Amino acid sequence: MKQIGSIIIPTMRYKDAPAAIEWLCSAFGFEKHLVVPGENGAIAHAQLSFGNAMIMLGSESDNEFGKYVRIPKDLDGINTQTVYIIVEEIDEHYRRAIDTGAEIIVDIKDEDYGGRGYSCQDPEGYIWNFGSYNPWAQ
């Protein structure tokens, strides 16, 4: 196998993973790469792509991994990690997120270090950061 370097893929669990997948695609522009249904309407595993990036998610469960993961709404909205996604058309992306019901927690603004960005929460309380600043291009 060819070595391609390190790739980081955030993973999440959702109470209503099917609804989360549809919302993330509609609000943020993710695309379904792979969705594996589970039992009783659950999602065993899903991969959503955004350009050359990806997240993985599934339905909340008490399996070997799941017993260590909680959804922010179960923790009074506390997130212990968040993701930052680079978006070229940030103002358009921001309007799309608002139109789809994302809760804006840090309004869009120009950053002192360059770029422009905002932060919001999805319906289950995960925090998402989007911006035009690309640290690899600096």
Sketch the domain layout of the chain as residue ranges: 11-60+81-137
pLDDT digits (tens, 9 = 90+) for 73-104: 999 989 999 999 999 999 999 999 999 999 99
Place of tokens 């070595």: 3
pLDDT digits (tens, 9 = 90+) for 38-53: 999 999 999 999 999 9
pTM metric for this prediction: 0.91
pLDDT at 3 over 80: no
Which of 3.10.180.10, 3.40.50.920, 3.10.20.30, 3.30.450.20 is the CATH number of 11-60+81-137? 3.10.180.10
> What distance in Å separates the CA atoms of residue 11 and residue 100, rounded to the nearest whole number?
22
